[in-house]
Chain A
Amino acid sequence: MIQVIDLHKSFNGQAVLDGINLEIPTGKITVVIGKSGVGKSVLLKHLIGLLKPDRGQVLVDGLDITKLQGRKLQDLKRRFAVLFQGGALFDSLNVFENIAFPLREKTRLPETEIRRRVHERLEQMNLSLEAGGKFPDELSGGMKKRVALARAMIQEPEIILFDEPVTGLDPPMSNTVFHLIKKTHAVSNYTALVVAHDIPEVFQIADVVAMLHHGRIIACCGPEEIQHHSDPVVQSFIRGEPDFLEA
């Protein structure tokens, strides 16, 4: 389980996270929703140690990632994978090399085994073997996301963080990516945190939905419950009402 306890983070004196408390249960998909710019990605980056909080803790099975350094931090990071918003594929490597990268860096598997695993992932993501030879700038947005998902999955991590996995994709491709997340989760049963604002699509995959607003989690419950939540801010966001903050 991942526990976020009283997490605070400010940039240039402006509080972005203002006392976040959240529990991300093991083996479940937790979705964090909220308006753009509210700090969802900032929260996600704290979970993997890319940002250090001003105050608070992020406990991964009891280990505080905000305090870990060196080898212990590296070992903990190996349990994670991240699907970044833009994919974060390495420009200088082709699709095959991108997906194989974590295996080549962190394991001593023979090349034949690496090839087998990469091909398996390409197939799982509905990507052809020929796509393996393409470079990231030759791929569509949807293909980039699927390659990034394949790379995130290749080491079968325990925890995967998804940073707006369908932003910029058309509705059919968004559904495909959500379907792939659901499918891979059913197979691997990893713990997932998905940062998104795609309502109602995210409810298809969520076990738990948390809403971030003004630097705090204002609601955290199942997808059914959140749709009937009593908080007017939650309701306004879910219904997509314009400028609910100012209203």
Chain B
Amino acid sequence: MVAFIQLLGRGVLNWVRETGRIQLFLLQGLALAFVPPFRPRRVLQEINQIGVKSTLIILLTALFTGMVLGLQGYYTLRKYGSEGALGAAVALSLIREMGPVLTALMVSARAGSAVTAEVGIMRITEQLDALDTMAVNPLQYVVMPKLLAGLIAVPLLTAIFDVVGILGGYLVGVVLLGVSSGSYFSGMVQSVVPLDINGGIVKSLVFGLTIILVASYKGYHTEHGAEGVSRATNQTVVLSAVLVLAWDYLLTSFFM
């Protein structure tokens, strides 16, 4: 029994310590955005890596998600004679929930893992140490631009996801299944309120920061060579997915 309590205590202490370290890492990383030298070019490079290069996968995921929502929504609503509400159902599902969450999960799988691998390899090949010895802060040169890029790119990708998803729902609901185009869009306009959009934006900001924070942190603290990079990459994908879903619940309950 004593051993169990000791084990539990050690686990809790480790968790608290690790959480504190991640928060300090985040604060340092963000604070360095306001300390010269400013690095707009590095931020743009990272927006390209994290955002632009994720666009195709976001487009595909959004299109098929919207199409599935259109199909499922149509047959569910038809039972109640409410096919006209299809546009509202698709738009609300996407803007409030599926857009931010699925975008975050896709970015985590594509860009989050890449960020961990890149920073992890920089760690094990002493490139981060080399920056340090040149009196260049590795957090400012490597991590800060990625955090800012996550904050900028993920909300934009979420907006793309929402729009393409709505078009996917339109394609199935209106073009294939014959719902009136006017009711699809008017239902959407009447049902979606600014709070829905604001909630989606806040979620995507939080998710973007969470994913890149976890990815950078895991990469930055990689140990034990190639195996360590592999482990860190794996942890990034799993942890950021869990955190995104946990944040989603908290933020949804806040915005309801």
Contacts and interface: CB of A to CB of B under 8 A. Distances in A.
B136 A50 contact: no
A77 B135 contact: yes
Nearest to A77: B135
B216 to A, nearest CB: 16
Contact of A88 (B37, B125, B135): B125
A105 B134 contact: yes
B134 A88 contact: no
Please classify how large the interface on chain A is, using the bins under 10, 10 to 19, 20 to 34, 35 or more: 20 to 34
A6 B37 CA distance: 37
Contacts of A74: 135
Interface string A84-97: 11101111000000
Contacts of B18: none
A90 B125 CA distance: 9
Contact of B130 (A75, A78, A88, A106): A88
A167 to B, nearest CB: 13
B174 interface: no
Contact of A82 (B121, B130, B136): B130
A237 interface: no
A45 B126 CA distance: 11
Interface string A157-173: 00000000000000000
A91 B126 contact: no
B127 A90 contact: yes
Interface in A60-90: 74-75, 77-78, 80-82, 84-86, 88-90
Contacts of A85: 126
Contacts of A50: 129, 132-133
B136 A88 contact: no
Contacts of A82: 129-130, 133
Interface string B108-135: 0000000000000110011101101111
Contact of A84 (B122, B126, B135): B126
A48 interface: yes
Given A105-B134, A105-B136, A106-B134, A88 B129 contact: yes
Contacts of B133: 48, 50, 77, 80-82
B121 A91 contact: yes
A141 interface: no
A91 B122 CA distance: 8
Nearest to A102: B134
A90 B129 CA distance: 11
Contacts of B37: 105
14 contacts: A48-B132, A74-B135, A77-B132, A77-B133, A80-B133, A82-B129, A84-B126, A88-B126, A88-B127, A90-B127, A91-B125, A105-B37, A106-B134, A106-B136
Q: Ordered nearest first, which 4 A-B pairs have the shortest CB separation?
A: A88-B130, A88-B126, A77-B135, A74-B135
Interface of B: 37, 121-122, 125-127, 129-130, 132-136
Interface of A: 45, 48, 50, 74-75, 77-78, 80-82, 84-86, 88-91, 101-102, 105-106
